[in-house]
Amino acid sequence: MRTGVPSRSCLLALGLLLGTRLPASAAPSVSLGSASGYGNFHAGAVVVTIVGDDNFNASVTLEWRPTGGTFRLGHPPLRIDATPFAGSLCWLSPGTSFDVRLTLSDPDGVTGPATTVVPLQTRADTLPALAALQALGAGPPGGFYFDGTTLTGGAVLTSVTDTSWKIVGPR
């Protein structure tokens, strides 16, 4: 009759299974594949792709600085799948160049360079001169117009890029 207690042979088999190591052909060493940085107004993102790491125990550290400044430790990028890691930087200054240093580590070893530095540029948060903007869109009968300083017709400015703006009708 079974009592719900595992037998000794079951526990022995489990112990042997847990104590096994990966065969030499499944080398878990890792190397850097690629890295890139993307800037927004007050934030930035980095994506690091690795090659290898069959046992998924690699990690990446992130350090950042304004170009020419001193590196500061950031939040480590998170593994989002088998090979990519993604990380974020927040509260950055707009219109500024940054260097992001990414360092790969793995208890099983890293093949090739473990560190890379990628550039990141945040966007300026200033609008172009109003006279340079061009209206894109139509409004109600009579329409909206822009004389370089005034938006009329009750329109609301909804989005701006470096070269254009978009309006919606009256509120």
Domain boundaries, the chain: 27-121, 130-168
Query: Tell me, what amino acid is at 32?
Result: L
- pLDDT at residue 126 in the model: 81
- pLDDT at residue 129 in the model: 63
Identify whether the C-beta of residue 126 lies closer than 8 Å to the C-beta of residue 96: no
Residue 61 β-bridge partners: 103
How far apart CA 44 and CA 36 sit, in angstroms, is 11
How far apart CA 71 and CA 62 sit, in angstroms, is 10
How far apart CA 87 and CA 84 sit, in angstroms, is 10
- pLDDT at residue 47 in the model: 97
3-state DSSP call for residue 8?
helix
How far apart CA 158 and CA 139 sit, in angstroms, is 14
User: What single DSSP character describes residue 24?
Assistant: T
Tens-level pLDDT at each residue, the chain (171 residues): 445 554 444 433 434 344 444 444 455 789 999 999 999 999 999 999 999 999 999 999 999 999 999 999 999 999 999 999 999 999 999 999 999 999 999 999 999 999 999 999 999 988 666 555 555 444 444 455 454 444 555 555 555 554 555 555 544
Specify the fold of 27-121: Immunoglobulin-like (2.60.40)
